[in-house]
Amino acid sequence: MADLLRAAATLPAFRRALRLYLVEASPVLRAEQQRRLAAAEPQFVDSVEALPSGPLLVVANEFLDALPIRQLVRGHSQWAERLVGLDGEGRLAFVEGPESPALILLVPDARREAPPGTIVEICPAAAALAATRRRAIRPLTRRRTVCRLRLFPEQVWPNLERPAPAPAGRRAPRSRQRRS
């Protein structure tokens, strides 16, 4: 986090607009983060749902790395889950569960027709986390305001193109780009 804040300081307007929220359950770790990041004035929340709605930049690499994954293996005709079991000598080993046509729903579209033996990792907890934040942000995407221009003005990115102002008495044409 300290590296991110140092990098953000190279763009003063971005750094001034930045509000640091940390999701941390441990009082001991909260105290240590407060000490180390005091200059950034961190705000602590108890859960992802407690984060304020609005534009969001999530930095959670260590958190995401610790979430459990599931491995799916392409079998001869369907996908199977890769599990941990015991080998013939009683040692831990990877084993494949039964092939199931339902597992294809968990495989990304681009990998569904992969050759036998292909392994795909999925992280349902990360997908659920992203869906939680997407629900909180979705109302903002329906507004006509272009948040990026408000949050990152020309002082931060001088080459950012803005639409030309409309002549007096006329409205500027609306963008025909589809919003995601």
In the numeric block, the tokens 């569904």 are attached to 112
- Collapsing DSSP to helix, strand or coil, 41 comes out as coil
**Residue range 2-65+146-151, CATH number:** 3.40.50.150
Q: For each of the chain's 180 residues, which pLDDT tens digit applies?
A: 888 888 989 999 988 888 899 988 899 999 999 999 998 999 999 887 888 877 778 787 777 788 899 999 999 999 999 999 999 999 999 999 999 999 999 999 999 999 999 999 999 888 887 777 666 555 444 443 333 333 333 344 444 444 445 555 555 444 444 444
Is 99 within 8 Å of 76 (Cβ atoms)? yes
| pTM score | 0.52
Domain ranges of the chain: 2-65+146-151, 69-122
